[in-house]
Structure 1
């Protein structure tokens, strides 16, 4: 082995999809992965948080109770009530609150040690949550308006008869395909891309810090940028939990609206 090979670091390998596929038990499609474990951990943390902050409810709330009530009030009044309407919103608040908190905690795992892996960066989790929303908003719409009335309402009244088939087909694609696909991909794409960027900055910075010449200077700058990226990623993680819950409420509100 040459002296250069012994001193210089090995060739840099950029991050990829393998950084999200971390099987703990088994292998293949049915493997129990780190993302699955984090999802279970998030459920335990959420249960502990809700139990700890609400078991001793008081007229003058503690800081924990105040925080829980603030999050609940935000989802209840700022999302559910505004988008579904005051007549129908209450029965959907538990679902929307659960979605928001679950997604938020799992997104924050992307930057919080020792987890540092966003669960929603695995496409299966956004798909599962989207399927729940998909079934709910179609089910409540059909239940309220009837099967025929629900699908008939996809076509706005007053259209020329010649345009009705085309508009119905386009609206059907939107309801059955475009909405669920974009809902899942938006959450997955943001979490996947953000985590890849974080790994790239951290590992790339470390590689340059251990290289010769002027590369350590760029490595230091890269790690400073990593801190900035972390703050930006925190914002994106909160925003994506909000956007997913907002769109879920919007779809449910459209399905149960009287004019649907």
Structure 2
């Protein structure tokens, strides 16, 4: 009751929620996330075309940034997780996934845009289940054959044979069902939660500044400071989640190609 008396008569605070992530169509059923996904492809292609148009021995800032991103995807992710023998043919996939996730995550920090595409779980599921899942299973089947590949995935060497009655169903569930689902949920949850927290602090600061009574107005500054702090933290999370998504993709491919687990 006391807190209500400190609020002006202007209105009641309505916190943001899931509904705020479902944006209305802009035209003909096309939504903002759809446009951002297409735009991300254009941005990535344009950036690397410009960066590599005139390659120099001593790179400028744009060329250096492009080479650094490529080196992370090629060496720190693909080669480390897949192995020096097999990684090269998967570099384009890992590089594409890493840059695509990175750009679509960073959208959440860009003024006006301010919407990380991966906060819609459908996009994360599409990449994890329609691209990553078929690729690593196909790679494993092509290397080992269907029977040996399945055996390698669900029957690790070492345990006594009676343990396989318990272990095999768990391995099937984890390797063929939960791994791609976890891959999608991990990046979706991070982008959704981080963006929601920033929205809460930002809207709360505006509400307190405009609607609250005098004693509560200074709290708006605290809320705004938290929004800024969370934005910097979310920027780090955005980069890390793109890296982790690509890292796990390469890890799944590496496990599929390995002889035994």
Kept in 1: contact 2:41–2:100 (CA 8 A): yes
- The structural deviation recorded for 1:191 is 0.3
Name the SS of the counterpart of 2:249 in structure 1. Answer: helix
Partner of residue 96 from structure 2, selected from 95, 98, 101: 98
Distance in 2, matches of 1:137 and 1:229, equals: 35
Cα offset, 1:177, TM superposition: 1.4
| C-alpha distance 220-86 of structure 1, shift in aligned 2 (>3 A) | same
Q: Is there any run of 5+ residues in structure 1 with no aligned partner, and where?
A: none
Task: Confirm or deny: 8 A CA contact 2:124 2:187 kept in the other structure.
Answer: yes
Which residue number in structure 2 is paired with residue 206 of structure 1?
206
Name the structure 1 match of 2:19.
18
Q: Is structure 2 residue 232 aligned with structure 1 residue 231?
A: yes
Tell me, in whole angstroms, the C-alpha distance in 1 between the residues paired with 2:253 and 2:46: 29
The match for 2:141 is 142
Query: Contact 2:40–2:104 at 8 Å: present in 1 too?
Result: yes
Matched residue of 2:12: which SS? coil
How far off is 1:172 after superposition? 0.5
CA distance in 2, matches of 1:243, 1:158: 29
Secondary structure of residue in 2 paired with 1:96:
helix
The 2-side partners of 1:242 and 1:133 are apart by 15
**Aligned partners of 2:158 and 2:65: how far apart in 1?**
49
Q: Verify the 8 A CA contact 2:26 2:32 in the aligned structure 1.
A: no
TM-score calculated relative to the size of structure 1: 0.93
Two-structure CA RMSD over aligned residues (Å): 1.6
| TM-score after normalising by structure 2 | 0.92
| Distance of 1:23 and 1:138 partners within structure 2 | 37
Residue of structure 2 equivalent to 1:36: 34
Query: Does the CA-based 8 Å contact 1:8-1:212 persist in structure 2?
Result: no
Contact 1:83 1:253 in 2 (8 A): yes
* Larger RCO (CA within 8 A; separation ≥ 6): 2
**1-side partners of 2:41 and 2:151: how far apart?**
40
Q: Distance in 2 between the 1:177 and 1:116 partners?
A: 32
Contact 2:191 2:238 in 1 (8 A): yes
What residue in structure 1 maps to residue 161 of structure 2? 161
Question: Which residue does the alignment assign to 1:194?
Answer: 194
Q: What residue is the counterpart of 2:10 in the other structure?
A: 9
* Kept in 2: contact 1:21–1:33 (CA 8 A): no
